[in-house]
């Protein structure tokens, strides 16, 4: 077998055999195939696609490319949650402590930002001192003792996804259904949970722009999860505009804290309530959806969910004072208001452009090794459908310097469309696949 043959085979539209998939996954993970050849194969997969059998084979090859966590020592039904990505998506930071506070052991392995979307690990690392490089022993210990731990992908768990994920991020090969499904499900299978709740986003700020594609992706992942013996369900959520008001790593953690304190933007609260309720159902805390929703609300009102977040932060070396004092986060030195040039309604916020704008501010990576700036980002004072007057502030730009702020302002001028018609409201939740 050689890599050039596989590239040409896929380029010409033929399915790869299981042995071929196993071969390139293990060789690339072992450092035996150069990035440029795997980039070419990924691009061929991007254009030619993979059938369901290839997608399953790729998932399993990646899942078993390293160690698999054995969480048998942890009592209860361990529930993991994963999003297919979005802009302003701080859902994990909210639902993980809620579910944990209600008795669901949350053993979560998360990723970094990818393409124009953010990643939970980058967000958590904006909390001063927070460590995401837990050993498997620490991970298990925290979940057993406190019901919650979130760690980054270790070199040992699904290492194939780790290297492929980073390569896809810089080669324009992220938004392919098979690559997304295998990336997510391989990590979930390796991470050892019993049940998985998937947040499959759809819209301009998601990798799946159309609802039917998001449903298809959800179905593929649920099927793979079930084949691997995991209780898997997917919630299709809207990502036509950024979720909530804050976009950017430290800013998103602050919004998550606001929600756990009983505030926060309505859309973030609605999406998180649904996903947290699904985690309770998957964790068999209750079999009533209504009861699950009321438990989620109670856990916020009683402050229990916020307490869990505090425990998570303390356990993983972070500064818990951030919960009370947001000035303990790194703060961007420049704040610039982006203002409306005309009266009207905010008709659209082109979500992937906003994600790219935050990336260009330094909140995401352009190349694999890039350090990100946790402080930069945007605060949206207006959301789609809101009335705006000329000169009114639509968003606040948090930037490292004036030059970056100026560029972001230009990006936002194109991404935020003001017009005379009030746009129709879109649903936030499109359905559940299980």
Nearest distance, CB of residue 123 and ligand URA, angstroms: 14
| Annotated catalytic residue 126 | no
Nearest distance, CB of residue 180 and ligand URA, angstroms: 4
| Annotated catalytic residue 82 | yes
| Annotated catalytic residue 27 | no
Nearer to ligand URA, 198 or 405 (CB): 198
Asked if residue 129 lies in contact with residue 319, where contact means CB atoms within 8 angstroms, the answer is: yes
User: 214-253: b or e for each residue (b if 16 or more CB lie within 10 Å)?
Assistant: bbbbbebbbbbbeebebbbbbbbbbbbbbbbbbbbbbbbb
Q: Which of these is catalytic: 56, 78, 81, 82? A: 82
Give the residue carrying structure tokens 């229990």.
304
Nearest distance, CB of residue 400 and ligand URA, angstroms: 27
Nearer to ligand URA, 108 or 245 (CB): 108
Q: Which residue is nearest to ligand URA (CB)?
A: 183
What Å distances lie between residue 426 and 218, 384, 413, CA to CA?
20, 10, 23
Nearer to ligand URA, 142 or 165 (CB): 165
Nearer to ligand URA, 199 or 373 (CB): 199
Q: At what angle do helices 266-282 and 91-101 cross, to 10 degrees?
A: 40
Asked if residue 77 lies in contact with residue 280, where contact means CB atoms within 8 angstroms, the answer is: no
CB-neighbour burial class of residue 13 (10 A; exposed 0-12, middle 13-18, buried 19+): exposed
Alpha helices in 64-199 (DSSP H): 91-101, 120-124, 136-146, 159-169, 177-190
Residue 213 has, within 13 A of its CA and on its CB side, a CA count of 17
Nearer to ligand URA, 220 or 398 (CB): 220
Residue 287's CB is within 10 A of a number of other CB atoms, namely 9
Alpha carbons 54 and 228: distance in angstroms, whole number: 15
Identify how many contiguous H helices and E strands the chain contains and give both numbers: 16, 13
Nearest distance, CB of residue 85 and ligand URA, angstroms: 4
Q: Which of these is catalytic: 65, 83, 183, 299? A: 183
Nearest distance, CB of residue 179 and ligand URA, angstroms: 6
* Paired tokens of 392: 């009114």
Nearest distance, CB of residue 218 and ligand URA, angstroms: 13
Given CA atoms 273, 277, 283, 286 in this order, what sign does their dihedral have?
A: positive
Q: Which residues would be at the binding site for ligand URA (CB under 6 A)?
A: 84-85, 111, 114, 165, 179-180, 183-184
Q: Which of these is catalytic: 168, 188, 308, 382? A: 168
| Annotated catalytic residue 168 | yes
Nearer to ligand URA, 258 or 352 (CB): 352
303 phi-psi bin (left φ>0, alpha ψ -120 to 50, beta other): left
Alpha carbons 236 and 216: distance in angstroms, whole number: 10
Alpha carbons 95 and 272: distance in angstroms, whole number: 6
Nearer to ligand URA, 243 or 295 (CB): 243
Residues contacting 340, CB < 8 A, separation 6+: 388, 389, 390, 391, 392, 393, 394, 418
Nearest distance, CB of residue 59 and ligand URA, angstroms: 11
Nearest distance, CB of residue 110 and ligand URA, angstroms: 8
Nearer to ligand URA, 179 or 394 (CB): 179
Query: Which residues are known catalytic residues?
Result: 82, 161, 168, 183, 187
């Amino acid at each position: 077998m050689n890599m050039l043959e596989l590239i040409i085979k896929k380029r010409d539209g033929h399915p790869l055999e299981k042995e071929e998939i196993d071969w390139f996954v293990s060789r690339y993970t072992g450092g035996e195939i150069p990035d440029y050849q795997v980039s070419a194969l990924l691009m061929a997969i991007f254009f030619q696609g993979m059938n369901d059998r290839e997608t399953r084979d790729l998932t399993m090859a990646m899942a078993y490319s390293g160690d698999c966590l054995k969480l048998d020592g942890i009592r209860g039904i361990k529930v993991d949650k994963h999003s297919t990505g979005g802009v302003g998506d701080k859902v994990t930071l909210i639902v993980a402590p809620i579910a944990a506070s209600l008795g669901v052991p949350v053993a979560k392995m998360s990723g970094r930002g990818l393409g124009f979307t953010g990643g939970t690990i980058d967000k958590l690392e904006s909390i001063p001192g927070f460590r995401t490089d837990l050993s498997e022993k620490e991970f298990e210990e925290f979940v057993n003792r406190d019901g919650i731990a979130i760690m980054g992908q270790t070199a040992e768990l699904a290492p194939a996804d780790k290297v492929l994920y980073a390569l896809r991020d810089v080669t324009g090969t992220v938004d392919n259904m098979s690559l997304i499904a295998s990336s997510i499900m391989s990590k979930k299978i390796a991470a050892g949970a019993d049940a998985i709740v998937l947040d499959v986003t759809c819209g301009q700020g998601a990798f799946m722009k159309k609802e039917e594609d998001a449903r298809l992706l959800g179905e593929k992942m649920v099927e793979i999860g079930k084949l691997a013996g995991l209780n898997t369900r997917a919630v299709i959520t809207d990502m036509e505009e950024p979720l909530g008001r804050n976009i950017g790593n430290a800013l998103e953690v602050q919004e998550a804290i606001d929600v756990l304190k009983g505030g926060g933007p309505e859309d973030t609260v609605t999406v998180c309530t649904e996903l947290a309720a699904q985690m309770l159902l998957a964790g068999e805390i209750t079999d009533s959806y209504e009861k699950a929703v009321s438990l989620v609300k109670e856990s916020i009102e009683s402050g229990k969910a916020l307490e869990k977040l505090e425990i998570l932060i303390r356990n993983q070396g972070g500064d818990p004072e951030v919960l009370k004092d947001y000035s303990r986060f790194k703060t961007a030195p420049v704040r610039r208001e982006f203002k409306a040039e005309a009266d009207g309604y905010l008709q659209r916020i082109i979500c992937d452009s906003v994600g790219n704008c935050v990336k260009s501010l330094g909140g995401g990576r352009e190349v694999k090794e890039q350090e990100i700036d946790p402080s930069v980002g945007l605060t949206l004072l207006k959301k789609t459908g809101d009335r705006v007057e000329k000169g009114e502030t639509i968003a606040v730009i948090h930037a490292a310097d004036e030059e970056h702020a100026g560029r972001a302002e230009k990006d936002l001028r194109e991404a935020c469309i003001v017009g005379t018609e009030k746009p129709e409201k879109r649903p936030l939740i499109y359905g559940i696949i299980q």
